[in-house]
Amino acid sequence: MMTVKEAEQKDVESLIEFLRKAWKEAGPGALGWTGATEETMRHIASHGFLSNLLDRDDTRVFIALNEGQVVGFSSNTRLGDELVELSGIIVLESMTGVGIGRRLLEHSIEAAKGDRYTGMMVKTESFNERAVNFYLRNGFRREATIEEEVEGSNVELVKLVLPL
């Protein structure tokens, strides 16, 4: 049975294991991982980084658990008093297509509403049609195409917004 909950400090080791597995399954050229390198992943999947992330006042992290194992991750980061960024959804490639991303998104949206945000924004690579279509199917609307630097390279991103 799959459950979604807010991550706590006691989940750091499980998150490290999850991120390493997700990276291994997806690989450096995978959609959603633009700019990520082995070095970047070592940093992101470190105890210090994740512990600090979970302690931040402006960020909430959610995990999807299947039989006690982390199989998905999402996070919300405050951009202002009214706007929150869905700063990421990651699901193990081996577990895609079974509703984990949708459940994480629903949990992130409910948390944002509970935190009294009036809008949620997400950015994804413009060529990541799977992600763009996922967000459009779930009520987001395309707001703009922008270019941002990611790990030293310019990447074209689609900015999508959901009124809450």
How far apart (Å, rounded) are the C-alpha atoms in residues 31 and 163? 26
Confidence of residue 29 (pLDDT cuts 50, 70, 90): low
How far apart (Å, rounded) are the C-alpha atoms in residues 90 and 19? 9
pLDDT of 114 above 80 = yes
Q: What is the pLDDT of residue 42?
A: 85
Q: What is the pLDDT of residue 27?
A: 62
For the question of whether the overall pTM of this predicted structure is more than 0.75, the answer is yes
Cα three-residue angle 148-63-149, rounded to 5 degrees? 10
pLDDT of 30 above 60 = no
How much of the chain, in percent, has pLDDT values that exceed 90?
Answer: 70
Q: Which of 31-40, 75-84, 133-142 has the lowest mean pLDDT?
A: 31-40
Confidence of residue 26 (pLDDT cuts 50, 70, 90): confident
* Helix, strand and coil in the chain, % to nearest 5: 35, 35, 25
Give the CA count within 13 Å in the CB-facing half-sphere of 57.
1
How far apart (Å, rounded) are the C-alpha atoms in residues 135 and 70? 22
How far apart (Å, rounded) are the C-alpha atoms in residues 30 and 34? 7
Locate the DSSP E strands across 7-152: 59-66, 69-78, 83-91, 119-125, 141-150
Cα three-residue angle 27-32-34, rounded to 5 degrees? 75
Delineate the domains of the chain, giving CATH numbers in brackets.
2-163 (3.40.630.30)
Average confidence (pLDDT) over 127-139: 93
